[in-house]
Copies of this chain bind each other. A is one copy, B any other.
């Protein structure tokens, strides 16, 4: 494989995580070691910024900033949910693809790394195929990222270990709180966590549980249809046993007809879509009215995926390793792969984390759900198989520097790379 000399472009996509920047730092720090990589650029707001030729020159950033981004949550380069959609918008997609390659060629991009979840891996795959078709030699490697943990073929997804570490600690603390307030009449607390389709995040809170009396007492997973009668019976049984009940629910919990229980059909937005007031609120109303039990809700929302103040060191290290591995693979001549996390066991049973490569075509648009055999028979709790899988992902804590009692996070100065192309024009307006 001949050495490919040129510039590097890295961008981030989809919902941010506590460790997505660690992957970018892995890319940047490894890229600095390879002479074949000349300029190092960051694309702002994912594909959307690249389409607009909004690139920053990472070599203008302080080394200290880059080091500090390893523990900074959210997407330092900005992110987007923009998708190149050949199915629904084929003409727009074709124009976008032309424009992307105009940008790649104008800036001699020969290494492209896209850090994201399912959609982003799909985008990377399409760009890889397009580069081959156009004969533009460019190495494309996807870097995994998603708190949802729903990418296939990788042991786990960077971002997942941190979200469940924070959520499990939070559920443990809420359990202490509600348990200590539970007098004879009992009480219930319902904690809503992210996860529209897959229950990995909700399941992860089981790590807070060390005895049957501990919170969480019930975990409702979006994979299993919600049965109100069985749920109420389980709440009642729990309150009778422990005087309180902490329920964790994945936001995308659905009823037996497949409708999200958090959809509030009484209010719609300007476009007529029902507003989601949330699964926890909906469940709380059921518990309060049918069991006459004092019930409070917690909705962690964006707080959970940004909680770098309590991020998992294992997760952050794996995220960083994925960025490093992506550059190494590309420099070695690979293209069209996603880096995956591999769990191996040493002779003493301890875990050795490594990385591997998986063809992007195996990843794109495949969702990986929680296996049914990792969930208790009654459906209300992940079992020991899940715990064995998940516990190593939350080991260790990222040390975050502090200033004035609060975490000290970094941000890029964002020195823009001079544009070389005409403005995106009509394509921009249509986006």
**Could you say which of A98-106, A227-235, A397-405 contacts chain B?**
A397-405
Q: In the complex the two chains form, is B298's CB within 8 Å of A177's CB?
A: no
Give CA–CA (A73, B178) in the complex, Å. 11
**Assembled-state Cα–Cα distance A82/B185 (Å):** 12
Residues of B near A305 (CB, < 8 A) are: 177
**Given the contacts A405-B395, A406-B208, A302 and B178 also touching, CB distance less than 8 Å:** yes
Instruction: For residue A286, give the distance in angstroms from its CB to the closest CB of chain B.
Output: 11
Q: Nearest Cβ distance between residue A151 and chain B, in whole angstroms?
A: 20
A174 B15 Cβ-Cβ under 8 A? no
List of B residues within 8 angstroms of A281 by Cβ: 277-278, 281
The listed residue with most B CB atoms (<10 A of its CB), out of A165, A305, A397, is A397
Interface segment out of the listed A265-273, A366-374, A375-383 = A265-273
With a cutoff of 8 Å between Cβ atoms, the chain B residues found around residue A298 in the complex are 299-303
**In the complex, which of the residues A48, A73, A170, A301 has the most CB atoms of chain B within 10 Å of its own CB atom?**
A301
Partner of A75, one of B181, B208, B404: B181
User: Which residue in chain B gives the minimum CB-CB distance to A80?
Assistant: B183
Q: How far is the CB of A400 from chain B (nearest CB, A)?
A: 9
Q: Is A296 an interface residue (CB 8 A)?
A: yes
Set of chain B residues within 8 Å of A75, measured between Cβ atoms: 180-181
Shortest distance between the CB of A49 and any CB in chain B (Å): 9
Binding site for B on A (CB under 8 A): 12, 15-16, 45, 48, 72-82, 165, 168-170, 172-174, 176-183, 189, 191, 207-208, 266-267, 269-270, 275, 277-278, 281, 284-285, 288-289, 292, 296-303, 305-310, 312, 314, 391, 394-397, 402, 404-407, 409
